[in-house]
């Protein structure tokens, strides 16, 4: 089990996510062009969020970090598939790629939620819709152009990839978009994989 800490003293704003392998990141990167008024997510910031935690006190941060190390699961396969936006109707603010896979993701999500809530963080109210955010709109795109862009990429499917762990991240808000820093990586088999 490995763990890494960034040494930040401010109240951390946390989330837990699955990292994407480089080949899948490259496939997603090829989608990120040809739309005006959007800020594309940098390739090294792409991830599949399992749980957004938000700002927590340091002791809760420590409890979450230790609890996540106790999660064990069988590795499972996922692939990214299809495109969508939030909100689903009206002017979009977020563009994302969907996720396709077996029950392993839902089981992992439940285990992560249990750890976070036992550590004292608030329960999550939103229904889990697994996705990878690829862009955030600065302004609503012209409808005909956006419709054409979506239609040309609607059949996107990534290569399958094996999920055998996840990471705990802190998020720092900036005017040009959030910057994510990996705080710790967890492996299903060995527990703590790395502390950053």
Active-site residue flag, 172:
no
Active-site residue flag, 47:
yes
Three-state secondary structure call for residue 75: coil
Rounded to a whole number of angstroms, the distance between the first and last alpha carbons of the chain is 12
| Marked catalytic residue, from 93, 131, 172, 180 | 131
Question: Which H/E stretch holds residue 187?
Answer: strand 179-187
Whole-number Å distance between alpha carbons of 166 and 51? 11
Contact call for residues 123 and 117 (beta carbons, < 8 A):
yes
| Marked catalytic residue, from 47, 93, 172, 180 | 47
Q: Which residues are catalytic?
A: 47, 131
């Amino acid at each position: 089990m490995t763990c890494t800490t960034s040494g930040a003293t401010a109240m951390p704003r946390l989330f837990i996510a699955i990292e994407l392998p480089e080949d899948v990141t490259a496939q997603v990167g090829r989608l990120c062009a040809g739309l005006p008024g959007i800020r594309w997510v940098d390739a090294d910031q792409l991830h599949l969020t399992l749980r957004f935690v938000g700002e927590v006190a340091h002791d809760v941060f420590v409890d979450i970090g230790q609890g996540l190390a106790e999660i064990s699961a069988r590795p499972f396969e996922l692939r990214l598939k299809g495109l969508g936006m939030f909100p689903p109707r009206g002017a979009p603010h977020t563009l994302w790629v969907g996720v396709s896979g077996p029950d392993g993701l839902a089981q992992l999500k439940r285990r992560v939620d249990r750890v976070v809530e036992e550590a004292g963080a608030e329960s999550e109210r939103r229904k889990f819709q697994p996705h990878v955010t690829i862009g955030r709109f600065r302004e609503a795109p012209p409808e005909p152009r956006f419709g054409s862009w979506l239609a040309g990429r609607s059949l996107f499917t990534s290569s399958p990839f094996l999920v055998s762990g996840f990471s705990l991240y802190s998020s720092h808000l900036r005017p040009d978009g959030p910057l994510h820093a990996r705080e710790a990586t967890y492996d299903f088999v060995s527990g703590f994989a790395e502390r950053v």
